[in-house]
Structure 1
Amino acid sequence: MAGVSDRRAQEPAEAATIAGLDEAVTGCRACDRLVAWREQVARDKRAAFADQEYWGRPVPGFGPADAALVIVGLAPAAHGANRTGRMFTGDRSGDVLYAALHEVGLASQARSTYPGDGLALYGTRITAPVRCAPPDNKPTPAERDTCQPWLERELTLLAPNLRAVVALGGFGWQSVMRVLAATGWQVPKPRPRFGHGAHAVVAPRDDHAHPRAGEVQVFGSFHVSQQNTFTGRLTPAMLRDVLSDAARAANLR
């Protein structure tokens, strides 16, 4: 398969804990195009960050290992999470997301600038279907499929407490449905369509990977990209409404 190799630091299924999974994913080199791009960006840098050392590796999820709510984006931004090493950290998309999370009581502060800045998430974890920054923010289908086992393992490990998922954008929504179906939840057929404010409920199958898994409510929101937030397609109030609904579904409010 073009652009994809079999090189991985560790198979996702071998990770027994969220901490172990987070450590393992940072060493993944499975997708040649993504490895080359993330490392090129880390070398060349943006002028505004020329004095900073870029992360330049796959980005793990961020948030507690017993999270009841998971937010799923698309992929790290080249000069955001690919620079800082934390999801939605150090870019304007993250500014919008964390401000909303703080307003609805899911984050300790409204800004996310760098790991160690004091930010904590409450019952919430942020992750992505693709863990490396892709050129033009567009991973290929092969790269999405190659990265999928990481998200599968993450949701399996979170299953005992997982009660709600917010998918940011159509890519995140489709990925969530694929992963839930692959990891033991009964996704409705035909699969629910994405839209801002979309809502679906999935129940665990009898053969679920974790016997204590429960029903999961999935919520859709337009992505917090600058294209959406600058044009008003996604407003702070719209995002807060979705996050509030998801927080209630996860018993976090």
Structure 2
Amino acid sequence: MAGTSYSRTAGHAILPGTWEFVRRRGNVPDSDLLDPAERYDYDTVNADKRAEFDRLAARDLTEPPEFLQFALANGRDALSDYPGAAPLGTGAVALDTFDPALVARAAAKFGMTAQKVEDELRKFSGAVQLVELLPGQELYRTVGLTATGALYGSVTNKILGNYWEPVCPDEYDDVGHWRASTAVLAEWNGDYGYVRVQLARPVAVLAGTVGQQDLNRQPGQVLPGGAQQFFIPRLVDADLVTPVTGQPLKNIIRRTVFGARTRGTP
């Protein structure tokens, strides 16, 4: 995880110590992450614990923008109508067989095992290519506040995470259109903020179509996918025109305004 600042989670938990690491140096190596037993749940803890979170969140470096929201906790916050849901069988079917040559080339390029490459390919549908993005390419990644259900957690989803979109979330008509296309579960993040970066040097990626995502909350339905995505392991500040590590969260994370592009909103 060298070069990244925050890690992805899936519910409401906050690790106060991880906030401290981010505040001090903007980077949280695996060896410094707290034991999962030390996490706590923001929605159910007492006032003292919430006050501790709020104190850490108010620090200049770790203060999140006011609009950023917590993700839904798995199996606890029911959604009566999941935005973007569609019947099973109508989505972009995720890959379950793989081109051995592509797997071998990607494993060598990324320094990963073939099994890990195949695990990532299962998040795609249809043809996937190993390509090089050029300097100047803009990338977008949705982020949110931390949640329960992950092995480790910290301030937000990983800012420089593995999956990116070539299209700004603002270009989608509404949250349902965006969620259906990108197959991003509400359990994963708050979906109200995103990070935009621009590449400063060539970066190798797996590029292809987002595969469908099953909805455990609504059996028999899926988020169908179909948008384009890039898998980029170990993206670091040196790859970017403007580094993000060490910057305040409120300066890095932009507010998502669905439909803004079509309405001409800047």
Which TM-score applies when normalising by structure 1?
A: 0.25
Give the structure with higher Rg (CA): 2
Higher strand share: 2
Structure having the larger proportion of residues in helix? 1
Q: TM-score, normalised by structure 2?
A: 0.24
